[in-house]
Amino acid sequence: MNQYFYVLASSQLCDKIIARPTTKFHPSIWGDRFLHYNISEQDLVCKQERVEELIQVVKKEILSSNHDQLKLIDNLQRLGLSYHFESEIEKLLEQLSIGTHHQNNNIHDVSLRFRLLRQSGFKVSSSIFEKFKDEKGNFKESLITDVSGLLSLYEASHLSYVGESILDEALAFTTTHLKAIVANSKNHPLSHQISIALERPLRKTIERLHARFYISIYEKDASHNKLLLELAKLDFNVLQCFHKKELSEIMRWWKEHEFVKKFPFARDRMVELYFWILGVYYEPKYSRARKLLTKVIALTSITGDTYDAYGTIDKLELLTKAIQRWDINCLDKLEPEYLKTYYKVMLDSYEEFEKELKKEELYKLEYAKEEMKRTIGGYFEEARWLNEGYFPSFDEHLRVSYVSSANVLLIATSFVGMHDIVTHETLDWLSKHPNIVSASTLLSRFMDDIGSRKFEQERNHIPSTVDCYMKQYGVSEEEAIKELNKKVVTHWKEINEDFIRPTVVPFPILVRVLNFTKVIDLFYKEGDDQYTRVGKALKESIDALLIDSIPL
């Protein structure tokens, strides 16, 4: 069980109230673009029928043939098609796990097999890479000429566990030489792929975003399978229509509740939040879960901005107590009016969610509701720190900010709409904060604090984990960020370790946690907060998934 937990402080606050200036966030860059869904249903049905035809053909003609299994699995996953062939891929992986492929001396194939097996939880030792080292213990210089092999080894190295020095060495070795190839050989056939991989390795990439990129790469490959390519393009476009329709429903909910008008001080990022949740799960079968989670993360964003950038401490104390009670009778005790509105919206929204669930599923929502209470308790504690001018230690900060990161809340909520795969045992597992959850949460906290640092320094704000680390250990800002980034690397490795079979909970549960971490990595990588200040990179990613279809 993770050491970081939070209990709402019961101590009385000092009478001193600090008026907090409103933070100015830029408005939504999308306007009403996604409010309406205008797609020909007849055309969509035709495409869906063709997708189903192609799926059956692929199962019959490709998956049952003697095609290169490694390449086939890799292509299915990278083209975004693996969710159609889960049982077939599982059988192929089982065959690979017991085969003699480890005797292969091809660095590309060995690395690919290692990555495919390890990312699916199969036990495979990193010692298989020892044969690619020279007598001095370094990776052989001859590997440098095998660019495809270097790239494959680079991707495999991101599946490392804590203490696997050989994969750390592999990452350093491949990164150095791949960067040199991009710098010195811009016309190399793999140059574009290498650039993308260096920026976002497969282990950290959002699946649909990578599929959008890889389809164009696969099409240029002279050896591509025409059926797979057609299926990948059609499936991407069909899912895009499905997601746009879903987003339209959510945008109407956002508009009908007048969130922007009622909470003008909060960030209006509904499209970005839906994109966030698409990174967590994109499959049609998770539609109910996705819509519910998107609404909850929107409410959480408003809550965070209320506590972080707008509310005064005396009013926030009353609101926090009301949230803990979760009783509409608390409404009359709240002021000013916007807090009453907020409280009613929160309670009404969860009542709406209850109506969408079966009676036997309501315990999942109750669990998620308790996590919302804990998260808001964390928000209040941080608001109290700011009000009192309190500078916590690094460890004390983590005990609170672990909760206020809202990562556990969102993970819990992501389970609510996932039907029968989530059980009481799943929530018991989550309540113990297993390694994968604590690693994801701490990683999210550090990346968020590093990414939002510049913006937070422009306003009155509590010390971040960066500030607290600097003070507790007497180091510079640069050194603190360096050390926290080291922790991020370690937490990624801890996440990888929790996928080793047999797993405590079903694999799709672990994948949700992994995918949350991937999204955080996208939003906050390179010391940038793409959520607060939507930049070019995030806009282009949303364009790719929700606007630009793939030409057939």
Res 19: pLDDT: 43
Res 525: pLDDT: 81
One domain for residues 171 and 279: no
User: Residue 349, exposed/middle/buried by CB under 10 A (0-12, 13-18, 19+)?
Assistant: middle
Cα angle 456, 458, 462 (rounded to 5 degrees) comes to 40
Residue 122 sits in a domain whose CATH number is: 1.50.10.130
One domain for residues 309 and 205: no
DSSP 450-501: HHTHHHHTTS-----HHHHHHHHHT--HHHHHHHHHHHHHHHHHHHHHTTSS
Task: Spell out a b/e string for 357-380, using b for 16 or more CB atoms within 10 Å of the CB, else e.
Answer: beeebeebbebbbebbbbbbbbbb
Of all residues in the chain, the percent with pLDDT exceeding 70 is 94
**Residue 68: helix, strand or coil by DSSP?**
coil
What value does the mean pLDDT take over residues 257-279?
96
Binning pLDDT at 50, 70 and 90, where does residue 23 land? Answer: low
Task: Spell out a b/e string for 526-548, using b for 16 or more CB atoms within 10 Å of the CB, else e.
Answer: eebbbbbebeeebbebbebbbee
| Terminal alpha carbon distance of the chain | 50
Give a yes or no: residue 42 inside a domain.
no
Mean pLDDT of the chain: 93
Lowest mean pLDDT segment, chosen from 5-14, 349-358, 448-457: 5-14
Instruction: Tell me which amino acid residue 395 is.
Output: D
Binning pLDDT at 50, 70 and 90, where does residue 61 land? Answer: confident
Closest CA to 68 of 104, 32, 30: 104
Binning pLDDT at 50, 70 and 90, where does residue 228 land? Answer: very high
Residue 339 sits in a domain whose CATH number is: 1.10.600.10
Q: Two tokens at 359?
A: 């009676």
One domain for residues 205 and 67: yes
Find the radius of gyration of the CA atoms of the chain.
Answer: 24
Q: Is the pLDDT of residue 220 over 60?
A: yes
Q: Is the pLDDT of residue 11 over 60?
A: no
One domain for residues 179 and 295: no
One domain for residues 162 and 262: no
DSSP structural state of residue 139 = B
One domain for residues 170 and 303: no
Domain boundary among 179, 198, 232: 232
Q: Supply the range of the domain harboring residue 203.
A: 59-232
**Overall number of domains in the chain:** 2
Give a yes or no: residue 41 inside a domain.
no
pTM of the predicted protein model: 0.94
139 near 519, Cβ under 8 Å? no
Give a yes or no: residue 40 inside a domain.
no
322 near 313, Cβ under 8 Å? no
Binning pLDDT at 50, 70 and 90, where does residue 350 land? Answer: very high
What value does the mean pLDDT take over residues 99-108?
77
Give a yes or no: residue 294 inside a domain.
yes
Span 236-247, pLDDT tens digits: 999 999 999 999
One domain for residues 101 and 213: yes
Res 1: pLDDT: 42
405 near 374, Cβ under 8 Å? no
Q: Is the pLDDT of residue 485 over 60?
A: yes
One domain for residues 266 and 214: no
Res 457: pLDDT: 66
Give a yes or no: residue 267 inside a domain.
yes
Q: How many residues does the chain have?
A: 552
Give a yes or no: residue 551 inside a domain.
no
Give a yes or no: residue 80 inside a domain.
yes
One domain for residues 223 and 279: no
One domain for residues 309 and 456: yes
Span 397-446, pLDDT tens digits: 999 999 999 999 999 999 999 999 999 999 999 999 999 999 999 999 99
Q: Two tokens at 129?
A: 């890479």
Domain boundary among 195, 217, 232: 232
One domain for residues 396 and 291: yes
Binning pLDDT at 50, 70 and 90, where does residue 542 land? Answer: very high
Instruction: Tell me which amino acid residue 107 is.
Output: I
CA atoms within 13 A on the CB side of 165: 2
One domain for residues 344 and 268: yes
Number of H helices, E strands in the chain: 24, 0
Give a yes or no: residue 131 inside a domain.
yes
Closest CA to 92 of 108, 110, 71: 71
